Amino acid sequence: MELLFGLFLMFAAAKFAAEVFERIRQPAVVGEILAGVLIGPHVLGWVAASDASHLLSELGVVFLMFSVGLATRPAQIFEVGATSISVATLGVILPLAAGYALMRTPPFAAGVSSIQALFVGTAMVATSVGITARTLASLGQLGSASARIILGAAVIDDVLGLLVLAAVSSAAKGSINLPELAVLALLAILFVAFMALLAAPVLTRFAHYANRLRSDNAEFSLAIALCLGAAAIAVKIGFAGIIGAFLAGMALAEAAGQRHDLHAQMKGATELLVPFFLVDIGLQLDPGLFSDASTLWLVLALIAVAAVSKLAGCGLGAFRLGRRGALQVGAGMIPRGEVGIVVAQLGLSLGVIDARLFGAVLVMACATTLITPPLLRPLYGAARNLRPDD
C-alpha cells in the first residue's frame, strides 16, 4: 500500500501541477519538477525517492527519447551533422574548462583538489535532452532545424562525455589507461554508426514481416523490445540509456512512417511514465542546501557557470543558424539532468568528492533542468524553422 500510495501521490501531484502551469502559460514540465520538490522529503515529506521511483523515472525518460527518435528520421540528423559536431565539441570543451576553472578560483578552491575540480567540470559536460525533447514536442518544434541539431549533438556529446568521464575516473584511481579509452571510443562509435546507418534499413524490411504476426500489437511489442535492448547495450558500453533508446527510435522511424497506431501507443506509455521522471528529479532537490551561505554561493556559481558555458559553447557551434537559432540550440543543451547526477554519484562512490560538493552538483543538475523550459518557450515563440548551411 505504501508503494502504491507513493506512486499515486507522485503521478497526481505531477498532473495537477502541470495543469496549473499550463493555465498560467508556463511550461508544464517545470510544474511537474516543482511538484516533486513540494511533496518530497525536504519540504512536505509525503514521498521519498526510492528504487521504485528511480526505476519508473528511468523507464519514463527512456520511452520519451524512444518516442522522439520515432519522429526523427536518420536523414534529418545527417543533414545537420556538421553543425551538430561543432555544437557538441564546443559544448564539451567550454563547460569542462569553465567548471574546472571555477573550482580552482578563490573562494571555491579552498580544500578542493585538481581531481575534484575535474569531476565538477565533467559533471558540467553532460547533457540530458529528455526535458528539452519534452518541451520541444509540446511546442511542436521537434522537426525544426535547431531541434535536429540538438538531438544530433546530444548523441555526439554523450560519446565525448563518456570518454572524458572515463579519463577522469582513471586519473582519480592513479593513472589513465589509454588502451582502455581507445577501446571505449571504438565501441561507442561503432554502436552509433550501426544504429544510425545499418539498423534503419534492416528494421524497415523487418517491419513488413511484423505485420503478419498473429499476436495483438506485435509491432508495438517489437518496438518496446528494440527500445529496451538498445538502451541496455548503451548502458553496457557506458552511455546513458536514453541515447540507445533515441538511436533505436530513429532506426525504426522509417519503418514506423505514418503508422499512427504505433505513435499513439508510445504516447500512452510516455504519458504514464514521464511524470515519474520529472517528479523524481524534484524529489532529489534539497532547498536546504541554500541555508548555508558558503554552499549557497557555490551552488549559485555552479548553476550560472553550467548554464552560461553550455549556452555560449553550443550557441557558438550553431552560429550558422543566426542569433535566435544559436540561442535555441544553446538553451536546449543546458540541462544536465540525470546524466550529471550519475557523474556526481560516481565521484562520491570513488571518494573523490565529498557530500557538500555532491549536493551542490546535484542541485546544479536539477536547476539547469528546471530553467531550460522557460528559456526555450520565448525563443521558439516567434521562431522561424531555419536550416543550417550544411
Task: Pull the grid cell for residue 284.
Answer: 532529489
Half-sphere exposure of residue 19, counting CA atoms within 13 Å on the CB side? 5
Say if residue 75's pLDDT is above 80.
Answer: no
- Residue with the bigger pLDDT between 50 and 304: it is 304
Q: Would the pLDDT of 318 be above 80?
A: yes
Cα distance between residue 15 and residue 87, in whole Å: 34
Instruction: Report which of residues 319 and 184 the model is more confident about.
Output: 319
Residue 77 contacts residue 148 (beta carbons within 8 Å): yes
- Give the number of other Cβ atoms within 10 Å of residue 288's Cβ: 11
Nearest CA to 287 among 74, 37, 97? 37
Residue 320 reports pLDDT greater than 80: yes
pLDDT tens digits, one per residue of 113-142: 888 888 888 888 878 777 788 788 878 887
Structure confidence by residue, pLDDT tens digits, 240-270: 677 788 888 878 876 655 555 777 788 888 8
For position 212, what pLDDT does the model report? 65
Banded pLDDT at 385 (limits 50, 70, 90):
very low
Query: Mean pLDDT score of the chain, rounded to an integer?
Result: 80
- Per-residue confidence (pLDDT) for residue 272, from 0 to 100: 87
C-alpha span between 73 and 251 (Å, rounded): 7
Among the ranges given (99-108, 255-264, 295-304), the one the predictor scored with the smallest mean pLDDT: 255-264
pLDDT at 296: 85
- The model's pTM: 0.70
Mean pLDDT of 223-229: 87
How many Cα atoms are found within 13 Å in the side-chain-facing hemisphere of 149?
A: 36
Residue 11's Cα: distance from chain center in Å?
21
Give dist(CA 329, CA 366) in Å, integer.
Answer: 19
- Report pLDDT for 175: 66
- Name every residue whose Cβ is closer than 8 Å to that of residue 21 and which is 6 or more positions away in sequence: 27, 28, 30, 31
Q: DSSP H helical segments within 44-144, as ranges?
A: 51-70, 74-79, 81-103, 114-125, 130-139
CA-based nearest residue to 352, from 15, 149, 117: 117
d(CA 141, CA 263): 17
- pLDDT bucket at 390, cuts 50 / 70 / 90: very low
CATH code of the domain made up of 55-381: 1.20.1530.20
Q: What CA–CA distances, in Å, run from 98 to 71, 92, 124, 304?
A: 35, 10, 9, 11
Reading the block at residue 44, the C-alpha cell is 512536505
CA distance 242 to 93: 22
Greater confidence (289 vs 188) lies with 188
With a cut of 50, say whether residue 384 has pLDDT above it: no
Q: What is the CA radius of gyration of the chain?
A: 20
The CA-CA-CA angle for residues 281, 282, 284, to 5°, reads: 70
Q: How many helices (H) and strands (E) does the chain have?
A: 17, 0
Which of 254 and 8 is assigned the larger pLDDT? 8
Which residues, 6+ apart, have CB-to-CB distance to 272 below 8 Å? none
Tens-digit pLDDT profile for residues 326-358? 999 999 999 886 667 777 767 776 777 777 788
pLDDT band at 208 (very low <50, low <70, confident <90, very high): low
Percent of the chain with pLDDT over 70: 88
